[in-house]
């Protein structure tokens, strides 16, 4: 028995606001599906963030449908959970994956936590935020008990785990039951393989370069998915790399050698099939950045899809000194403005939001706000006690059956 494991395809993501990038994500997903079929696997697991958001565009839905039907034509079913991107924390919401149940997509949810594929027990849960990690942990204990009755088992999750993630995590390794044979994770966009419990834990990584900070891992491991041979005593993992649609070229240039730097880039990218994205850092700048930007654009604009330059000024150090000496920065100003509320949580929220938003971290900002509301207004939130949450989800299921079946 062989299966493919992928995650974080983020269909519908329009990176940098560019339709070309949205299409790149669809293209690479199409290639992944073709390669999965070539691999002649028995089934596929998608570990969440199938879509970029919980309300995908018709185009994103159609691109997924295309892939799903191709797999179906090849007799390969897909099991899927919702990630943090393609689910909302709001009451009564259902993830977009549910739309495809009638086309054979096997959605793993808090209600349908597990399936049998032949003699393989496949269990999992959708993404749970850190504020719900208690519920998540108790559900994991239940799944572990069920898995104990089976020879071969897979656990599907979309979570950050401490040890593998230097950002916010919801689980520590000790929270995860150790009696599964394969841990099909999603959420971290890097490729990670690790021994875990009596089996293997894998983050296959994202299908495309979703954030530029994935470049280091991309240059090391590429992007793609894994094929798992599940017949032996331990699962055998084979990484299948799938080319991303276009390259990201990251370069540091010296302002005083700008011409040769630009020529070097031209030489690198002149024969590329698709225009790359250029991430440029220009150092030792002691001139008007607007003029430099124009120059770069004139020389490289036609050859690239997008240029993202940062300029490091020669006198940066002086500016930093000035900021340090000045009595108030933006954070202090925010806190001062919000002092009237006499609420430190509000002040913290504002400062954290300011820091995320000033770095364009929209997803992190949204998550921060969602968490804030869950923590401070539990009455607005459906899942504040578990029994009620099960009941709510049951209701959704019933309503949904009424509509579609």
Select 67 or 186, whichever has its Cβ closest to Mn ion. 186
**265: nearest Cα among 301, 292, 313:** 301
Which lies closer to Mn ion via its Cβ, residue 8 or residue 214? 8
Distance CA 374, CA 372 (A): 6
Q: How far is the CB of 190 from Mn ion (least distance, A)?
A: 11
Min CB(368)–Mn ion separation in Å: 17
Q: Which stretch binds Mn ion (CB under 5 A): 4-12, 228-236, 318-326, 345-353?
A: 4-12
Nearest to 250, CA basis, from 219, 206, 285, 207: 219
Q: What are phi and psi of 48, to 5 degrees?
A: 100, 165
- Output the smallest distance, CB 300 to Mn ion, in A: 30
Q: Using CB under 5 A, which of the segments 8-16, 142-150, 220-228, 281-289 binds Mn ion?
A: 8-16
7-15, 131-139, 306-314, 355-363 -> range binding Mn ion (CB under 5 A): 7-15
- Which stretch, 6-14, 195-203, 307-315, 388-396, contacts Mn ion (CB under 5 A)? 6-14
Interacting positions 35-74 with Mn ion (CB under 5 A): 49
Q: Per-residue DSSP letters for 62-110? A: HHHHHHHHHHHHTT--EEE---STT---STT---GGGGGGGGT-EE--S
Helix, strand, coil shares of the chain, percent, nearest 5, are 45, 20, 35
Stretch that binds Mn ion, among 2-10, 61-69, 112-120, 285-293 (CB under 5 A): 2-10
Note whether 279 and 249 are within 8 A (CB). yes
Strands 43-46, 2-6: pairing is: parallel
Q: Which is nearer to Mn ion, 130 or 351 (CB)?
A: 130
Cβ distance to Mn ion smaller for residue 185 or 282: 185
Question: What's 5's DSSP letter?
Answer: E
Residue 47 or 181: the one with the smaller Cβ distance to Mn ion is 47
Closer residue to Mn ion (CB): 367 or 383: 367
Name the minimum Å distance from CB 216 to Mn ion.
17
For residue 46, indicate whether it is catalytic.
no
Q: What stretch of H or E contains 331?
A: helix 330-337
CA 186/CA 220 separation, integer angstroms: 19
CB 209 within 8 A of CB 176: no
Supply the minimum distance, in Å, between the C-beta of residue 268 and Mn ion.
29
> Which CB, 185 or 292, lies closer to Mn ion?
185
Of 5, 10, 46, 85, the active-site residue reads: 85
Structure tokens at 124: 């999992």
Of 74, 55, 53, 51, the C-alpha closest to 64 is 51
Q: Closest approach of Cβ 195 to Mn ion, in Å?
A: 24
CB of 10 to Mn ion, least distance (A): 6
Which positions ≥6 away from 230 have C-beta within 8 Å? 1, 2, 3, 120, 152, 181, 182
Nearest residue relative to Mn ion (C-beta): 49
Among 6, 8, 160, 282, binds Mn ion (CB under 5 A): 8
Find the shortest distance in angstroms from Cβ 263 to Mn ion. 37
Nearer to Mn ion by C-beta: 86 or 304? 86
Compute the distance between CA of residue 210 and CA of residue 277 in angstroms, rounded to an integer: 13
Are residues 308 and 280 in contact, defined by beta-carbon separation less than 8 angstroms?
yes
Rounded CA separation 187/48 (Å) = 7
Six-digit token string for 363:
């997803």
214 is an interface residue for Mn ion by CB under 5 A? no
Name the residue among 64, 23, 63 with its Cα closest to residue 274: 23
Only one of the segments 1-9, 99-107, 267-275, 362-370 lies at the binding site for Mn ion (rule: CB under 5 A); that segment is 1-9
Active site residues: 85
User: Which residues bind to Mn ion, rule: CB under 5 A?
Assistant: 8, 49
């Amino acid at each position: 028995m062989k299966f493919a494991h992928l995650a974080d395809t983020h269909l519908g993501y329009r990176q940098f606001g560019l339709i070309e990038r949205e299409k790149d994500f669809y293209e690479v997903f199409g290639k992944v599906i073709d390669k999965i079929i070539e691999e002649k696997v028995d089934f596929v697991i998608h570990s969440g963030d199938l879509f970029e958001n919980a309300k995908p565009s018709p185009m994103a839905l159609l691109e997924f449908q295309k892939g799903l039907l191709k797999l179906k034509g090849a007799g390969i079913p897909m099991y899927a959970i919702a990630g943090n991107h393609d689910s909302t924390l709001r009451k009564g919401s259902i993830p977009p994956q549910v739309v495809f149940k009638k086309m054979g997509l096997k959605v793993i949810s808090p209600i349908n936590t597990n399936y049998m594929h032949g003699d393989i027990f496949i269990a999992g849960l959708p993404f749970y935020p850190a504020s719900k990690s208690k519920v998540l942990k108790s559900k994991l204990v239940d799944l572990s008990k069920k898995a104990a009755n089976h020879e071969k088992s897979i656990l599907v999750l979309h979570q950050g785990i401490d040890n593998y993630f230097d950002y916010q995590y919801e689980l520590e390794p000790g929270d995860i039951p150790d009696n599964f044979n394969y841990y099909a994770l999603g959420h971290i966009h890097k490729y990670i393989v690790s021994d875990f419990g009596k089996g293997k834990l894998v983050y296959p990584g994202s299908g495309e370069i979703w954030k530029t900070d994935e470049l280091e891992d991309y240059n090391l491991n590429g992007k793609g998915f894994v094929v798992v041979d599940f017949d032996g005593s331990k699962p055998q993992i084979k990484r299948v790399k799938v080319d991303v649609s276009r390259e990201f070229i990251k370069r540091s240039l010296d302002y005083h050698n700008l011409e040769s730097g630009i020529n070097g880039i031209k030489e690198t990218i002149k024969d590329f099939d698709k225009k790359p994205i250029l991430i440029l850092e220009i150092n030792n700048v002691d001139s008007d950045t607007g003029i430099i930007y124009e120059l770069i654009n004139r020389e490289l604009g036609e050859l690239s899809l997008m240029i993202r330059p940062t300029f490091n000024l020669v006198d940066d150090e002086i500016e930093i000194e000035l900021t340090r000496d000045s009595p108030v920065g933006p954070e202090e100003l925010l806190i001062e403005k919000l002092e009237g509320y006499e609420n430190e949580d509000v002040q913290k929220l504002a400062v954290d939001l300011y820091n995320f938003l000033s770095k364009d971290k929209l997803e992190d900002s949204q998550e921060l706000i969602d968490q804030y509301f869950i923590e401070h207004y539990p009455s607005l939130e459906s899942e504040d006690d578990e029994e009620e949450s099960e009941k709510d989800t049951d209701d959704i299921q019933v309503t949904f059956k009424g509509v579609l079946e």
